[in-house]
Amino acid sequence: MASHRKSRTPGARVAGIRTPALATAALTSVALLSQTADAAPGDDRPSLEEVEKKVGDLYRQAESATEKYNAAKEKTAKQRKQVDTLLDDVAQRTQKLNEARAELGSYAAAQYRTGAGMPDTATFLLAETPQDVFDQRQVLDRMTGRQKAAVDDYVTQQTETMKKRQEATESLRTLTETQGDLKTAKATVQKKLADARELLSELTAEEKARLAAIEKRKQQEAARKAAELARQQAAQEQAEQQEREEAAQQGGRSSEGSGSGSTGSADTPPADSSYATKAEKALAFARAQIGKPYVWGATGPGSYDCSGLTQAAWKAAGVSLPRTTYDQVNAGTTVPVSQAQPGDLVFFYDDVTHVGLYVGNGMMIHAPKPGAYVREESVYYDGESAIHSIVRPA
């Protein structure tokens, strides 16, 4: 076998190799070459690191488009409701105006019967008595006054209502166009994701194994940082507990010296006990969703996107959150990462396009990305720099 291998020329093409041993060697060479930043001359194929980065960027673009779509959809629904209300109002006002026009028709008929359309001299000459002329003038004046008031009123109402309807219709048209643009953008991102997945599917077994190893190292590093955060939080909690106990002891001694019956503040529940109770309900709901697929724009119950999951979880605890990450990030109090508590919202990236629900010990539950499922993992899953902020919503 050794002599057989030596018989091949150094310039033999890798694609032409058929023996298992040589195929394995060739795959290993491809994997090693992909680690370098400089590609071989004439090789346009991206490295594994480049493929991984491209897919990650596309996932974030898709999630950003999803949040924008969610915002536009919510705004469109509100605008549509407003337009429907205005259209109902216009219909009612139009009906009143039609009734006014019918009344004006009766006024016109009455004028015709009384000869109001004739010149004043003719009306006077044809009247049986001057009193008849006076009576007709009085009736017509009253009729004309009521007629003018009715017309002015309803015409004004119709004009204002039609103006509002035009404004609302224009707003709805603009929003519908925006929503369509967002859908188009989403489709474009999904196409890029499909291209990236296709590229991944073309990797060799050796390359796929190495890519999996890269992902595993990232997960291990994320788990390590989560454990580090958990230790820091535990140490901080222990120190705070010790301070509370010391303060309680000092308060007890002061009470004994003064003869007071006060027992200090040791039995006083923490200020955030109500929050902890609500957070437990939110987390219980989120845990029950683990394993369900990420679907953009979904709010449950069979699937979720990231903000749809956090909104539904806190709704189960009786707390109403806005629909999108852009609004949820402003729906509470921002706290340092070191002081994160179970139930807090963890936001990611500079454009605030992802969110998860903190469960403690540096871990969170979230709907990660297209093609993935609701799961629990480290808040450092995409690196420490990816964390934007921590928000306590209730």
- Residue 168: pLDDT band with limits 50, 70, 90: confident
The model's pLDDT over 124-154, given as tens digits with 9 standing for 90+, comes to 444 556 666 566 666 556 656 666 676 677 6
- Residue 394: pLDDT band with limits 50, 70, 90: confident
State the Cα angle at 58 between 176 and 326, rounded to 5°. 55
Which pLDDT belongs to residue 272? 66
Residue 198 or residue 12, greater confidence: 198
Burial (CB < 10 A; 0-12, 13-18, 19+), residue 199, is middle
- Read off the pLDDT of each residue in 89-111 and give the average, rounded to a whole number: 70
Q: Is 366 a catalytic residue?
A: yes
- Residue 81: pLDDT band with limits 50, 70, 90: confident
Q: Is 388 a catalytic residue?
A: no
Residue 312 or residue 265, greater confidence: 312
- φ, ψ of residue 331 in degrees (nearest 5): -100, 35
Cα 146 to Cα 371: distance, rounded to the nearest angstrom: 70
Mean pLDDT score of the chain: 76
Q: Secondary structure of the chain in the HEC alphabet?
A: CHHHHHCCCCCCCHHHCCCHHHHHHHHHHHHHHHHCCCCCCCCCCCCHHHHHHHHHHHHHHHHHHHHHHHHHHHHHHHHHHHHHHHHHHHHHHHHHHHHHHHHHHHHHHHHHHHCCCCCHHHHHHHCCCHHHHHHHHHHHHHHHHHHHHHHHHHHHHHHHHHHHHHHHHHHHHHHHHHHHHHHHHHHHHHHHHHHHHHHHHCCCHHHHHHHHHHHHHHHHHHHHHHHHHHHHHHHHHHHHHHHHHHHHHHHHHHHHHHCCCCCCCCCCCCCCHHHHHHHHHHHHHHHHCCCCEECCCCECCCCECHHHHHHHHHHHCCCCCCCCHHHHCCCCEEECHHHCCCCCEEEECCCCCEEEEEEECCEEEECCCCCCECEEEECCCCCHHHEEEEEECC
Q: Other CB atoms closer than 10 Å to residue 110's CB: what's the count? A: 13
The model's pLDDT over 11-64, given as tens digits with 9 standing for 90+, comes to 433 333 344 443 333 434 444 334 443 444 445 677 778 878 877 887 888 888
Catalytic option among 60, 68, 366, 369: 366
Residue 374 Cα distances to 25, 32, 346, angstroms: 39, 34, 15
Is the whole-model pTM more than 0.75?
no
Is the omega angle on the peptide bond into residue 368 within 30 degrees of 0, that is, cis? no
Catalytic option among 30, 306, 340, 364: 306
Catalytic option among 68, 186, 354, 369: 354
The model's pLDDT over 327-374, given as tens digits with 9 standing for 90+, comes to 999 999 999 999 999 999 999 999 999 999 999 999 999 999 888 999
Q: Is 354 a catalytic residue?
A: yes
Residue 392 or residue 91, greater confidence: 392
Residue 14 or residue 111, greater confidence: 111
